[in-house]
Structure 1
Amino acid sequence: MNYRNLPMVPRVVFGNGSFDQLGDILLPQRKSSDAPMIFLVDDIFEGTQLISRIPLICNDQIIFISADEEPKTDQVDLLADRIRDHFNELPSGIVGIGGGTLLDLAKAVAIMLNNKGKSYQYQGWDLVRKPSIYHVGIPTISGTGAEVSRTTVLLGPEKKLGINSDYTTFNQVLLDPDLTKGVSKEQWFYTGMDCFIHCIESLNGTFLNAFSQSYGEKALELCKEVYLEELDPSDSRDKLMMASWHGGMSIAYSQVGVAHAMSYGLSYLLGVRHGIGNCLVFQHLEEFYPEGVAMFNIMKEKHQIALPTGICGALTENDFEIMINVALSLEPLWENALGKEWRKLISPEKLKSIYQKI
């Protein structure tokens, strides 16, 4: 048996107010005044107090990016080219501040600044040849696990798929639960459910092992506390941030499953955001995850979340075929969910019948 030698985030800071240590953390990584730090920041923070707390010196630059759409390969390429063309030297580092979209963009841009070609050429497993430049992840919402994972999920010209590599993982993560204050209730729920669904898929998968189980069980326990119990807001923020971390770790040596595979189809065709896409699919997966779906419905009812309906109501046969092909292309996810004989257990007709309910 050849066990995978997986990377983990080598340095992490956790704590309320820890964002104010960012300047000290970045200082040893600065190469020269001509090699700035580039901060990729969710544009929802433009004009807020958070921006004044970013430790800018010399030629550092903030680039505001909308997180309204899923990150795309051509967006990564444009950002990498813009940074290359603007500075004489490669930046000292890339700092992503935001949710999963900004964190995935930061990881992908850090890779592409040191690797030739286009980012879609690296969508897949272990295709990156050269280390990324130094990059830091600072989540401002909890649930995606993007801060800890070795993948950066991108919408490409032909598929939605991650750049899964040992060079994707952040060099430094800063976890400050205070940064998640002010997240809307719906977004808090959808992104947190991404973590919950990670756990259900990992813990019920054929790839499950003690490594994944230990992280997945802890993340699931924290999700239950946050979404089923009455917690102090500060305690809830702390616990959901750690649930996200553990949920991301739970799939490092495992995989996600049916909900994520089908959610990728929704995102690719319709641009549905990842968290809500997982929820839209997961509610119809009682056959695969009966206990998880039952718990999801209790959480949804408790927090009075009404999922949108009719998303796939006007789709053509060709549209359904595109979504199904994207979903079925994610073979490791299906093998984790259903085993090596998964092709005998799932069919395009089955997937279409689930999509038609959304």
Structure 2
Amino acid sequence: MQFRNFKMVSYVVYGRGSFNQLDEILAPQRKVDAPMIFFVDHFFEGKALPNRIPLRGKDKIIFVDVTYEPKTTQVDALAQQLKAEFGMVSGIIGIGGGSTMDLAKAVSLMMTNPGSSADYQGWDLVKFPGVYKAGIPTLSGTGAEVSRTTVLTGPTRKLGMNSDFTPFDQIVLDPELTKDAPANQRFYTGMDCYIHCIESLEGNFINEFSKSYGEKALQLCQDIFLGKKPWTDEHDDKLMMASYAGGMSIAYSQVGVAHAVSYGLSYLLGTKHGIGNCIVMNHIEEYYPKGVAEFKQMVANNDIFIPEGICKSLSDEQFEAMINVSLGMKPLWENALGKNWEQIMTREKLRALYEKL
């Protein structure tokens, strides 16, 4: 039997106010005449957070537009821009939600690997380590801070650059940074974590490593979202750790139906990952009856709106494109439905599921 020997994040700092240590954390990684580049979610443009970034020398802040999830074209353009302007950089720091962190990971890799990021969509295709990279989440739930993938929409598919070179060298987990997240957005990303746990814990690839992290992350999500109490600092602290543990859980197992179906939505419609998972989770009682019932309770308790009918005006060709992307996620389907998943999740059955969304 072949056991997965997977790469984890090298350094982790956790705690309220830990963002203030960023200058000393980055100091040993600086190279002469090579700046640190800070990718900051455009949500923070004109707000206080960018003023706290410890800029030195030629360091640069780039506000990245993450209205839509990262595309290979966006990654390639940013890498080319940095190469043209600086030649080489000391590192790339992603400050934001999952999309911003994924962009930072991908651009770090494209500073040292030839061609287009689309060439590396898949498993273990990246040839060389990227430049130093650090992730600083300002939203909790995606697990992007610990994952070995950076999920990109390419010309033909939505698929990650999954490799041992992808994880961050450093993460800074400061729950203070998530304080001002909009309630809806916080819920959608929090549910990404909850759904990770349900899919991992009920999947065929489950093992004690994944279970240990997944059960803790699930318990934290239940503590946070099943109650009706006002949101507090403690909720932010717990959700940040749920995100970390949920990401660790799927690192040694896999996600399932909700993620596989939502990949098709993001590819075709540009649906953001967290809300896409919620839209799908609303309709998959057949696969996760207990998890879906609990999810619906969380939606009700938190007065959250989940869109309906987003696929109602699509053409046959568009349905086919989504189905192709979704069925390409073979490890996810195998985890959820077993080795004979193709007999269970036929094109017709998947089309019927998309029609319900």
The TM-score bracket by the shorter chain reads: over 0.9
What is the alpha-carbon distance in structure 2 between the residues aligned to residue 3 and residue 308 of structure 1? 40
Which aligned pairs between 1:141-290 and structure 2 lie closer than 5 A?
141-229=139-227, 230=229, 233-290=232-289
Opposite residue 175 of structure 1, the aligned amino acid is L
Secondary structure of the structure 2 residue equivalent to 1:12: strand
Secondary structure of the structure 2 residue equivalent to 1:162: strand
Secondary structure of the structure 1 residue equivalent to 2:12: strand
In structure 2, the residue matched to 1:81 is 80
What is the alpha-carbon distance in structure 1 between the residues aligned to residue 211 and residue 285 of structure 2? 21
Secondary structure of the structure 2 residue equivalent to 1:251: helix
Secondary structure of the structure 2 residue equivalent to 1:306: coil
- Superimposed CA distance per residue, residues 255-290 of structure 1 (whole angstroms, 9 cap, x where no aligned partner): 000100100000000000000000001111100000
Cα gap change, 1:232 to 1:308, in 2 (>3 Å): closer
What is the alpha-carbon distance in structure 2 between the residues aligned to residue 171 and residue 36 of structure 1? 17
Shift of 1:231: 6.8
Shift of 1:351: 0.9
Identity, % of aligned positions? 61
Opposite residue 240 of structure 1, the aligned amino acid is L
TM (norm. structure 1) is 0.98
- Superimposed CA distance per residue, residues 75-113 of structure 1 (whole angstroms, 9 cap, x where no aligned partner): 00000000000014x111000000001000000000010
Secondary structure of the structure 2 residue equivalent to 1:288: coil
- Superimposed CA distance per residue, residues 43-62 of structure 1 (whole angstroms, 9 cap, x where no aligned partner): 11112111110000100001
Tell me the C-alpha RMSD between the 2 structures: 0.8
Which aligned pairs between 1:95-110 and structure 2 lie closer than 5 A?
95-110=93-108
Does residue 93 in structure 1 map to residue 86 in structure 2? no
Name stretches of at least 5 consecutive residues in structure 2 with no aligned partner. Answer: none
In structure 1, the residue matched to 2:351 is 352
What is the alpha-carbon distance in structure 2 between the residues aligned to residue 123 and residue 202 of structure 1? 22
Opposite residue 161 of structure 2, the aligned amino acid is I
- Superimposed CA distance per residue, residues 235-261 of structure 1 (whole angstroms, 9 cap, x where no aligned partner): 000000000000000011110001001
- Superimposed CA distance per residue, residues 299-342 of structure 1 (whole angstroms, 9 cap, x where no aligned partner): 00001112112201100111111101100001000000011111
Extract structure 1 runs of 4+ deviating beyond 3 A.
none
In structure 2, the residue matched to 1:5 is 5
What is the alpha-carbon distance in structure 2 between the residues aligned to residue 130 and residue 199 of structure 1? 31
Shift of 1:219: 0.4
- Superimposed CA distance per residue, residues 138-190 of structure 1 (whole angstroms, 9 cap, x where no aligned partner): 00000000000000000000000000000000000000000001111110111
Does residue 118 in structure 1 map to residue 116 in structure 2? yes
Opposite residue 277 of structure 2, the aligned amino acid is N
In structure 2, the residue matched to 1:316 is 315
**Stretch of structure 1 that moved more, 42-51 or 208-217:** 42-51
Opposite residue 258 of structure 1, the aligned amino acid is V
Name stretches of at least 5 consecutive residues in structure 1 with no aligned partner. Answer: none
- Superimposed CA distance per residue, residues 98-144 of structure 1 (whole angstroms, 9 cap, x where no aligned partner): 00010000000000101011000000000011111100000000000
